[in-house]
Amino acid sequence: MPSKKSASKSVSNTQLKNRAEETAKAVKDAAKTIRDVATSTREAVKVFSDSGAVMELAESVQIAATAAKDTVEDVRDTTKELHDSRVAAEAAGAVEQTLSSAEETAMLAKQTATQVPKSAPRTTRRAVKVAKTIKKSSKPAVKQAKKTMKRGKTKARVEAKKLNRKLAKVSATSQKHARKIKVK
């Protein structure tokens, strides 16, 4: 009878052998996959190379880089010119003067606005009263004009309908005459 040690050795040898075979198969499969990927990569690189896409991409990048460089140089030159000409400083001074003048104008306008009612309260009240009177007197005239225009629109619509009916009758009659003439 085999002992426990020899039985466990034979089992572990069998397991080791199976594991080794599985590992060998996995390595073979991996090698095949690597070969397939390498082949497809080689084919893709060849197609890429033959198509000229890489060169076209490189040329496009070169053109874009050159354009960016030229743009940056133009901006730099313009900025130097602007700095040297002191236009920005002069513009800032002009804006400051404009703001100062606007502030002074606003103060004068405020002072004038407060002076007018004080110096001429009767005139102000009279102007308000006249404006209210004009507004009241114009309301009836506006209402009357709107009514007249409405009536005119209604009359025009009725006349247009009458003319359309007459035109339809004349058109129908002329079509009948035209048919009679063709039949003869």
What pLDDT, on a 0 to 100 scale, did the predictor assign at position 36?
Answer: 94
Say whether pLDDT at 142 is over 70. Answer: no
Q: Which of 7-11, 69-73, 111-115, 167-171 has the highest mean pLDDT?
A: 69-73
Dist. CA 59–CA 181, nearest whole Å? 80
Residue 124: CB atoms within 10 A of its CB come to 13
Dist. CA 141–CA 148, nearest whole Å? 11
Residue 91 near residue 83, CB atoms below 8 Å: no
Residue predicted with more confidence, 131 or 74? 74
- In angstroms, what is the C-alpha Rg of the chain? 50
Eight-state DSSP code of residue 3:
-
Q: Which of 64-73, 137-146, 154-163 has the highest mean pLDDT?
A: 64-73
Dist. CA 134–CA 126, nearest whole Å? 12
What pLDDT, on a 0 to 100 scale, did the predictor assign at position 35?
Answer: 94
What pLDDT, on a 0 to 100 scale, did the predictor assign at position 117?
Answer: 63
Q: pTM (2 decimals)?
A: 0.32
48: CB partners within 8 A, 6+ apart: 54
The 10s digit of each residue's pLDDT in 35-48 is 999 999 999 888 87
Q: At what angle do helices 87-119 and 121-183 cross, to 10 degrees?
A: 110
Residue 117 near residue 124, CB atoms below 8 Å: yes
Say whether pLDDT at 130 is over 80. Answer: no
The share of the chain scoring above pLDDT 70, in percent, equals: 78
What pLDDT, on a 0 to 100 scale, did the predictor assign at position 1?
Answer: 47
| The pair of three-digit structure tokens given for residue 42, joined into one six-digit string | 């080689």
Residue 66 near residue 74, CB atoms below 8 Å: no
The 10s digit of each residue's pLDDT in 71-111 is 999 989 988 887 888 877 787 788 888 888 878 887 887 78
Residue 25 near residue 31, CB atoms below 8 Å: no
Q: HSE (CB half, 13 Å, CA atoms) of 82?
A: 9
Say whether pLDDT at 3 is over 60. Answer: no
Dist. CA 5–CA 20, nearest whole Å? 22
Average pLDDT, the chain: 79
What pLDDT, on a 0 to 100 scale, did the predictor assign at position 163?
Answer: 79
